[in-house]
Amino acid sequence: MFFIEKEKHKFSLSNPALLVIDVQNYFFDKTSPAYLRGSERVLENIKEITNSVMGKIPIIGTLHIGGSNPLKKWWGNIVEVEWTKLMVEDYKFNHIIKKDTYDAFYKTSLEEILNFLKVDQLIITGVMTHLCCETTARSAFVRGYEVIMVEDCLWDKDEWYHYASLKNLAHGFAVISNKEEILKNF
Protein backbone atom coordinates (compact mmCIF):
# COMPACT_ATOMS: atom_id res chain seq x y z
CA MET A 1 0.00 0.00 0.00
CA PHE A 2 2.89 2.39 0.72
CA PHE A 3 5.04 1.43 -2.26
CA ILE A 4 5.56 4.96 -3.63
CA GLU A 5 6.40 6.39 -0.20
CA LYS A 6 8.78 3.49 0.57
CA GLU A 7 10.63 4.04 -2.69
CA LYS A 8 11.16 7.69 -1.83
CA HIS A 9 12.00 7.27 1.87
CA LYS A 10 14.01 4.18 2.65
CA PHE A 11 15.30 3.68 6.17
CA SER A 12 18.24 2.10 7.88
CA LEU A 13 18.40 1.90 11.63
CA SER A 14 21.09 3.88 13.42
CA ASN A 15 20.17 4.50 17.07
CA PRO A 16 16.47 3.63 17.41
CA ALA A 17 14.14 3.02 20.30
CA LEU A 18 10.94 1.00 20.17
CA LEU A 19 7.94 2.96 21.42
CA VAL A 20 4.94 0.83 22.45
CA ILE A 21 1.99 3.18 22.84
CA ASP A 22 -0.93 2.37 25.16
CA VAL A 23 -0.85 -1.41 24.80
CA GLN A 24 -3.05 -1.82 27.86
CA ASN A 25 -6.25 -3.62 28.77
CA TYR A 26 -8.31 -0.46 28.15
CA PHE A 27 -7.96 -1.09 24.42
CA PHE A 28 -7.38 -4.86 24.31
CA ASP A 29 -9.84 -6.31 26.85
CA LYS A 30 -13.19 -7.22 25.29
CA THR A 31 -15.03 -6.05 28.44
CA SER A 32 -13.48 -2.55 28.30
CA PRO A 33 -15.57 0.43 27.19
CA ALA A 34 -12.79 1.27 24.70
CA TYR A 35 -12.04 -2.22 23.34
CA LEU A 36 -10.69 -2.07 19.78
CA ARG A 37 -12.19 -4.92 17.81
CA GLY A 38 -9.38 -6.76 16.04
CA SER A 39 -6.65 -5.50 18.37
CA GLU A 40 -5.66 -9.04 19.33
CA ARG A 41 -4.23 -9.47 15.80
CA VAL A 42 -1.61 -6.77 16.33
CA LEU A 43 -0.96 -7.67 19.96
CA GLU A 44 0.88 -10.84 18.92
CA ASN A 45 2.97 -8.81 16.44
CA ILE A 46 3.80 -6.23 19.12
CA LYS A 47 4.86 -8.98 21.50
CA GLU A 48 7.03 -10.57 18.80
CA ILE A 49 8.79 -7.34 17.88
CA THR A 50 9.29 -6.49 21.57
CA ASN A 51 10.79 -9.93 22.28
CA SER A 52 13.06 -9.69 19.24
CA VAL A 53 14.56 -6.28 20.04
CA MET A 54 14.72 -6.65 23.83
CA GLY A 55 18.26 -6.05 25.03
CA LYS A 56 19.30 -4.66 21.64
CA ILE A 57 17.57 -1.28 21.65
CA PRO A 58 15.65 0.66 24.31
CA ILE A 59 11.97 -0.24 24.64
CA ILE A 60 9.72 2.47 26.00
CA GLY A 61 6.08 1.90 26.81
CA THR A 62 3.37 4.45 27.38
CA LEU A 63 0.45 3.99 29.68
CA HIS A 64 -2.62 6.17 29.24
CA ILE A 65 -4.14 6.93 32.64
CA GLY A 66 -6.69 9.54 33.63
CA GLY A 67 -7.35 12.18 31.03
CA SER A 68 -6.44 15.79 30.39
CA ASN A 69 -9.24 18.34 30.56
CA PRO A 70 -9.60 18.47 26.75
CA LEU A 71 -9.83 14.66 26.58
CA LYS A 72 -12.37 14.54 29.43
CA LYS A 73 -14.47 17.13 27.63
CA TRP A 74 -14.15 15.41 24.24
CA TRP A 75 -14.74 11.80 25.30
CA GLY A 76 -16.77 12.35 28.48
CA ASN A 77 -14.62 9.96 30.52
CA ILE A 78 -11.14 9.18 31.76
CA VAL A 79 -9.04 6.01 31.79
CA GLU A 80 -9.53 4.53 35.26
CA VAL A 81 -6.69 2.71 37.04
CA GLU A 82 -8.41 -0.66 36.50
CA TRP A 83 -7.83 -0.21 32.74
CA THR A 84 -4.07 0.43 32.97
CA LYS A 85 -2.75 -3.13 32.96
CA LEU A 86 -0.08 -3.48 30.28
CA MET A 87 -0.56 -6.29 27.77
CA VAL A 88 3.22 -6.74 27.43
CA GLU A 89 5.14 -7.77 30.54
CA ASP A 90 6.56 -4.78 32.47
CA TYR A 91 10.07 -6.20 32.62
CA LYS A 92 10.42 -5.94 28.83
CA PHE A 93 10.34 -2.14 29.03
CA ASN A 94 13.38 -0.04 29.84
CA HIS A 95 11.02 2.83 30.68
CA ILE A 96 7.26 3.23 31.12
CA ILE A 97 5.84 6.71 30.59
CA LYS A 98 2.46 7.68 32.06
CA LYS A 99 0.47 10.16 30.01
CA ASP A 100 -3.01 11.67 30.09
CA THR A 101 -3.34 12.92 26.52
CA TYR A 102 -2.58 11.75 22.99
CA ASP A 103 1.01 13.02 22.72
CA ALA A 104 3.55 10.85 24.57
CA PHE A 105 5.94 13.85 24.68
CA TYR A 106 3.50 16.31 26.27
CA LYS A 107 4.30 16.86 29.97
CA THR A 108 6.27 13.59 30.21
CA SER A 109 9.94 12.64 30.47
CA LEU A 110 10.00 10.94 27.05
CA GLU A 111 12.21 13.51 25.32
CA GLU A 112 14.70 13.60 28.19
CA ILE A 113 14.94 9.80 28.13
CA LEU A 114 15.48 9.72 24.37
CA ASN A 115 18.13 12.46 24.58
CA PHE A 116 19.94 10.63 27.39
CA LEU A 117 19.93 7.43 25.29
CA LYS A 118 21.06 9.38 22.19
CA VAL A 119 18.11 7.98 20.23
CA ASP A 120 17.57 9.50 16.79
CA GLN A 121 14.82 7.19 15.48
CA LEU A 122 11.52 6.06 16.93
CA ILE A 123 9.94 2.80 15.84
CA ILE A 124 6.30 3.27 16.80
CA THR A 125 3.81 0.51 17.62
CA GLY A 126 0.55 0.51 19.60
CA VAL A 127 -2.91 2.05 19.57
CA MET A 128 -4.79 4.08 18.36
CA THR A 129 -3.06 4.80 15.07
CA HIS A 130 -4.95 8.02 14.32
CA LEU A 131 -4.90 9.47 17.84
CA CYS A 132 -2.04 8.69 20.26
CA CYS A 133 0.29 7.08 17.73
CA GLU A 134 -0.12 9.73 15.03
CA THR A 135 0.05 12.64 17.48
CA THR A 136 3.23 11.23 19.03
CA ALA A 137 4.73 10.56 15.58
CA ARG A 138 4.13 14.14 14.48
CA SER A 139 5.52 15.44 17.76
CA ALA A 140 8.63 13.27 17.35
CA PHE A 141 9.14 14.49 13.79
CA VAL A 142 9.05 18.17 14.75
CA ARG A 143 11.57 17.38 17.52
CA GLY A 144 13.99 15.99 14.93
CA TYR A 145 13.47 12.25 15.27
CA GLU A 146 13.16 9.97 12.26
CA VAL A 147 9.83 8.18 12.68
CA ILE A 148 9.06 4.64 11.55
CA MET A 149 5.47 3.44 11.91
CA VAL A 150 5.09 -0.35 12.00
CA GLU A 151 1.82 -0.86 10.13
CA ASP A 152 1.06 -4.39 11.37
CA CYS A 153 1.96 -3.46 14.97
CA LEU A 154 -0.51 -0.56 15.09
CA TRP A 155 -4.30 -0.62 15.29
CA ASP A 156 -7.33 1.62 15.54
CA LYS A 157 -11.13 1.58 15.81
CA ASP A 158 -11.21 0.18 12.27
CA GLU A 159 -9.01 -0.17 9.22
CA TRP A 160 -10.20 3.12 7.69
CA TYR A 161 -8.89 5.24 10.57
CA HIS A 162 -5.74 3.10 10.64
CA TYR A 163 -4.85 3.36 6.95
CA ALA A 164 -5.92 7.00 6.57
CA SER A 165 -3.61 7.95 9.42
CA LEU A 166 -0.69 5.98 7.99
CA LYS A 167 -1.25 7.45 4.53
CA ASN A 168 -1.14 10.98 5.97
CA LEU A 169 1.97 10.25 8.03
CA ALA A 170 3.69 8.68 5.02
CA HIS A 171 3.20 11.89 3.07
CA GLY A 172 5.32 14.06 5.36
CA PHE A 173 6.23 12.63 8.76
CA ALA A 174 7.09 8.93 8.85
CA VAL A 175 8.33 5.91 6.99
CA ILE A 176 5.73 3.13 7.00
CA SER A 177 7.23 -0.27 7.62
CA ASN A 178 6.06 -3.67 8.80
CA LYS A 179 7.20 -6.12 11.45
CA GLU A 180 9.25 -8.29 9.08
CA GLU A 181 11.14 -5.29 7.66
CA ILE A 182 12.03 -4.15 11.17
CA LEU A 183 13.05 -7.62 12.36
CA LYS A 184 15.44 -8.04 9.40
CA ASN A 185 17.60 -5.43 11.16
CA PHE A 186 17.99 -7.49 14.35
Domain ranges for the chain = 3-183
Q: How far apart are CA 55 and CA 145, in angstroms?
A: 21
State how far Cα 57 lies from the chain centre. 16
Topology, domain 3-183: Rossmann fold (3.40.50)
Question: 3-class DSSP state for residue 126?
Answer: strand
* Tens of pLDDT, residues 118-133: 999 999 999 999 999 9
Name the percent of the chain in helix, strand, coil, to the closest 5.
40, 25, 35
User: With 60 as the cut, is the pLDDT of residue 3 above it?
Assistant: no
Question: Phi and psi at residue 66, in whole multiples of 5°?
Answer: 70, -140
Please tell me the pTM assigned to this model.
Answer: 0.95
Q: Are 75 and 67 in contact (CB under 8 A)?
A: yes
Which residues are 57's β-sheet partners? 54
- Mean pLDDT (the chain) is 94
